[in-house]
Chain A
Amino acid sequence: MPDLDNHMDDLFRKAADNYRPAAGKSDWDKISPLINTTEATVLPQNKKSNIVKKIAPLLLLLFLAATGYILNNFINTKNKNAFSAGNSIPAVKKTLAILNNIKPEKGAQGNTAVVATNSINNNTTSLKVTNAGIAGEIVTKNNSTIIRTAPKQTMNISVVSVGDEEATGVNKNEKNIFENNKDQTLTSQPGDAQISMQDSSIVSENNLITESKKIVSDTNTTTKNTPKKEVNHPSKQKRFYLGVTAGPEFSGVRRLEQQPGYEAGLITGYQLNQKLAVETGVLFSKKNYTCNGKYFNPDKLIASMPSGMQILSLSGNCSVFEVPLKLNYNILNNRTAIVFLSAGLSSYLLLSESNSYKTLLNGSINDMTGSYKNTKFYPAATADISIGFEKKLQKGNKLRLEPYLQLPLNGIGVGAMKVTSAGVHASFILFSNK
């Protein structure tokens, strides 16, 4: 054994370099939680985060529903307050006093009804009313109130005000107005009927101060119904709107994934004219997708992939905030519904991405997962087209169904995938009164 004795150390060094302990399976999942990390990127998702992710969409929908409910209530309350005695806006109080107590003249047929509220602000209130089938408009501006009717029409109105503190103030104003009428200082707009007072009396009844007046427009003219002609004041149209929207969404690269994601958020818009509106919003979207490996750009992952690994396919999902900017064009607009076409761009703020890869390495196919939390903004990520159907509700509010298609302009995510999305937005639109 002389050769072996002389070269034993070399032999063992060679053996140490070339012996082959079993490779075994990777214990990365076991050790990665023990590493102090600042960026957890390729970690198995724990149960807690899974639960949070599962209930997050539900919470978001609840939040949106609550927001819509609160907004709706707020707007309704605002409208209601505009006609209640406690309102502090003098012009509204005056109109309120008239409006709340309009009564049809004895013998007249039909009831008094508010047809439309054109606008309410600090100085001016305009209400369209009908009384006994006659259309008219009550305009309260600063300290004067004008009742407008079509020429040669008479509108008979009784005004009764409640005698509490607020209403007393209202009463005074009303009294002032009618005193003004007596003095013939109440102005009449061109085309408006001249207002004159025929009767005035004050009656106390059960602590209520009741003031009854009869106002007849255009003295000695006959009451004759003419077709109602609504006056549309462009400056008083409702232009701004706000809405909540949600709906299922199907996404994919080249072909849409069967498992739907969802999209939900807030939208807001401005009605430019009868036909056009510009609209934007913020929507949270969860997109599920599958992708052939050839459409996945691995450049950003090369550093984290073993040499020679090839991505065959992947499936995954991503969470994004979408900011659309689009133009709506009404192709049909009648009394009950609107149909519009829409086109625009959406920008994405990518929040997170999670992919399951099928990879090929040294002839064997393996499954790998990757989760990425790097937030990144993608301006003009998609071109959006849609067709919308709106059902008009009371007070200008609308229900909308809007099938849409989002075509990718830029790749998003770690693999720069061009994700196409399609879905339907169901929206509730609230129009601002201003």
Chain B
Amino acid sequence: MPGSLENITEIIKGCIKNDQRYQRVIYEQYRGFALKIAFRYIYTYDKATDVVNDSFVKIFNHFNSFRLGSEEENEKILIGWLKKIIINTAIDYLRKKQMLPEIGGIPERAFEITDSYYNADQVALYNDLMILVKQLPPTNRVVFNLYVIDGYSHAEIADLVNINIGTSKSHLSRARAALQMGIKKMEQTNYARFR
């Protein structure tokens, strides 16, 4: 989650007026946040950044549809709005690719070097867990992300991904099973301390 901005309401108003100074602030402040979302859905880093960029273009071109709330709520509303657009853009991208499984590994450069963090091991663990999610088949990955992490209901997922509710549940259970398998493998190799 990006750090809060002092004048988020003013920045949002600037974006509504299409002022690029404010648009850039939003982009710079939230692109890391956006990448974290997109990279959960999109397998390759480069494609994920493309989805992020496409998302921001959509966001800025449709900022006039943003509805301001109270001063305290505006950042939460903005984050929720950004998240929704990023997820939709990511799913659109996967749908264009017909939810075909990706090939190739995920390079280490796709993640930040963690040596400098005091909780480097923990971050490495989180990165590996996300790699497990990314290695799921695209539809399982989308359903797992939407349901478990992003809090969508199966009805919403069915509507969004254009599948049945039952199919959504099925994908979720397969995703969970695959992840449990993956975690077991991780546990056996590197992460005995994980429990």
Contacts and interface: CB of A to CB of B under 8 A. Distances in A.
Interface stretch (B69-77, B90-98, B125-133): B125-133
A51 interface: no
B53 interface: yes
Contact of A22 (B112, B123, B133): B112
B20 A307 contact: no
A18 interface: yes
Interface of A: 1, 3-5, 8-9, 11-24, 26-28, 30-32, 34-43, 301-307
B136 to A, nearest CB: 11
A206 B49 CA distance: 95
Contact of A12 (B28, B39, B148): B148
B103 interface: no
B28 A28 contact: yes
A1 B185 CA distance: 12
Given A15-B126, A38-B17, A307-B3, A31 B180 contact: no
B24 A32 contact: yes
Interface of B: 1, 3, 5-7, 10-11, 14, 17-25, 27-29, 31-32, 35-36, 39-40, 45, 48-49, 52-53, 56-57, 60-61, 109-112, 114, 122-123, 125-127, 129-130, 133, 144-145, 148-149, 176, 179-180, 183-184, 187, 195
Contact of B127 (A19, A39, A305): A19
B18 A36 contact: yes
A20 B21 contact: no
A304 B21 contact: yes
A18 B110 contact: no
A30 B148 contact: no
B36 A39 contact: no
A14 B126 contact: yes
Nearest to A26: B28
A36 B1 CA distance: 27
Given A19-B123, A24-B35, 11 more contacts: A1-B180, A1-B187, A15-B125, A16-B36, A17-B1, A28-B28, A41-B21, A43-B20, A302-B7, A304-B25, A307-B5
A146 B14 CA distance: 77
Given A18-B122, A24-B35, A43-B20, A4 B183 contact: yes
12 contacts: A1-B187, A8-B183, A12-B144, A12-B148, A21-B112, A26-B27, A35-B60, A39-B20, A41-B19, A42-B21, A303-B25, A307-B6
Q: Is the interface of B mostly helix, strand, loop or mixed?
A: helix
A31 B57 contact: yes
A43 B52 CA distance: 19
A41 B20 contact: yes
B181 to A, nearest CB: 11
- Identify the interface centre among A20, A27, A40, A304: most chain B CB within 10 Å of its CB: A20
A104 B157 CA distance: 112
Contact of B39 (A1, A21, A32, A34): A21
A26 to B, nearest CB: 6
Contacts of B57: 31, 34-35
- Top 8 nearest A-B pairs (CB, nearest first) are A15-B129, A304-B21, A19-B126, A15-B126, A20-B112, A19-B130, A35-B60, A16-B149
A24 B112 CA distance: 9
B8 to A, nearest CB: 10
B96 to A, nearest CB: 18
Contacts of A34: 57
Contacts of A304: 21-22, 24-25
Contact of B130 (A16, A35, A306, A307): A16
A12 B133 contact: yes
B20 A19 contact: no
A41 B23 CA distance: 10
B64 to A, nearest CB: 10
A208 to B, nearest CB: 77
Contacts of A306: 25, 28-29
A19 B36 contact: yes
B129 A19 contact: yes
Contacts of B61: 35-36
Contacts of B53: 27, 30-31
A20 B111 contact: yes
B7 A39 contact: no
